Amino acid sequence: MKKKLVSLLTVSAMTMSMLAGCGASGSQPAAPSSEPAAEASKEEAKADTATDAATDAATAAESVAETATAEAGNADLADKKVGVCIYQFADNFMTLFRTELENYLIAQGFTKENITIVDGANDQATQTNQIQNFITQGVDVLIINPVNSSSAATITDQVVGANIPLVYINREPDADEEARWDSNGWDVTYVGCDARQSGTMQGEILVDMGQEKIDLNKDGKIQYIMIEGDPENVDAQYRTEFSVKALEDAGWTVDELDDQVGMWDQATAQQLVANSLSAHPETEVVFCNNDAMALGALQSIEAAGRKVNEDIYLVGVDALTEALEDVIAGKMTGTVFNDHIAQSHGAADAAINYLTGAGNDHYIGCDYVKVTTDNAQSVLDSLK
Ligand code: BGC
Ligand code: CA
């Protein structure tokens, strides 16, 4: 587990140490207390990951140097064909992810002509066809961001049946599916973050500010509205659950006024939040499962004549540039950096490890970073 994490952690480790220097509180996610037994060993591995992050930071530079030397000699990557399936191009976060992925693959020695990235247009049938086409074309490795995580077993069977190594990204297949890769010894892995951590951090951003501040009407409860991403997606499920859980774990009482599905989309969220705010003017907190929706929420908050951090609080996830600028300007309370750089590099490195025969673990993790006014500028600078 450790070895495969090193290169992935490089960016995170650098980002984190940089952020630590800028006064970030550096909190870790609370370990979920009631986990299904089947998840236990993976959770241990993830907990190790968090601890290892700090330890490995010191040795990361050295290992990176080794990796770079090994990869510099990898001229044969130039004839390898990579197929990349993205669930939907019209997704702000996945756009950052795929751009970085392509650039990094090229930097590692693949040629642009041999990298094909396709848009699943948020339709599983379309994506399944695209995967079939990649198989027919004989790509050497596939990187897949599934439209429906629940289709992973079918996708895996299709790809493994064609003897092509497979790297899943962003939408994590369930524990049973991941266990199958392991027990069959298949060249299949998942690269991504644990969405529980991002939800927990969203809640902690508010907890760190103190209940006194957030409980605007002083009734001893936090009135909130929740805007969810695609409910089929584990990121949406966990962020919804763990953001609120962090408030409860701090001993706060919560009062859910509304819970709506914004499908990760800014315009949808804008409409939903406009409706919610007029039905529930007593709203104190707007939780959005991602920044695109938080940007939509902000438009409606402003249209309703409200002021973030004065008479309402707003948190998102991703650390999109626009959201970071809003945090700096005090128009968003906070966000959580969803490290598309570490994840895209990790996915490319995993693909390379399959091509060179080095192999991979079946889960490659990554840490989120809490973002508030304290560190938003340094996160923004690190992304330039
Ligand atoms: C991101 C969202 C994105 C989704 C796509 C999440 O991890 O936070 O912004 O829409 O992935 O699956
Ligand atoms: Ca209240």
Q: What is the DSSP string of 174-204?
A: PHHHHHHHHHHT-SEEEE---HHHHHHHHHH
Q: What's the CATH architecture for 77-193+340-365? A: 3-Layer(aba) Sandwich (3.40)
Query: What digits encode the pLDDT tens for the residues 269-328?
Result: 999 999 999 999 999 999 999 999 999 999 999 999 999 999 999 999 999 999 999 999
What pLDDT, in 10s, does the model give residues 209-236? 999 999 999 999 999 999 999 999 999 9
Which ligand ends up closest to the CA of 86? 1
Domain boundaries, the chain: 77-193+340-365, 196-337
CATH topology match: 77-193+340-365 vs 196-337 = yes
Q: Does an H or E element contain 167, and which?
A: strand 166-169
Q: Which residues line ligand 1 (CB under 6 A)?
A: 87, 91, 93-94, 170-171, 229, 233, 235, 264, 290, 292, 317-318, 338
Residue with tokens 């990649």: 134
As a dihedral over the C-alpha atoms of residue 142, residue 48, residue 369, residue 96, rounded to 10 degrees, the angle is: -10
pTM reported for the whole predicted model:
0.83
* CATH number 3.40.605.10 given to 196-337: no
pLDDT on residue 53: 37
Mutation to probe ligand 1, out of 232, 265, 290, 343 (largest number of atoms < 8 A from CB): 290
Q: Which amino acid is at 309?
A: N
314 SS3 class: strand
Ligand 1 midpoint to CA 212 (Å): 32
Ligand 1 atom nearest to CA at 317: 8
What CA–CA distance (Å, rounded) separates 363 from 178? 8
Distances (CA, A) of 324 to 267, 293, 317, 372: 19, 14, 10, 9
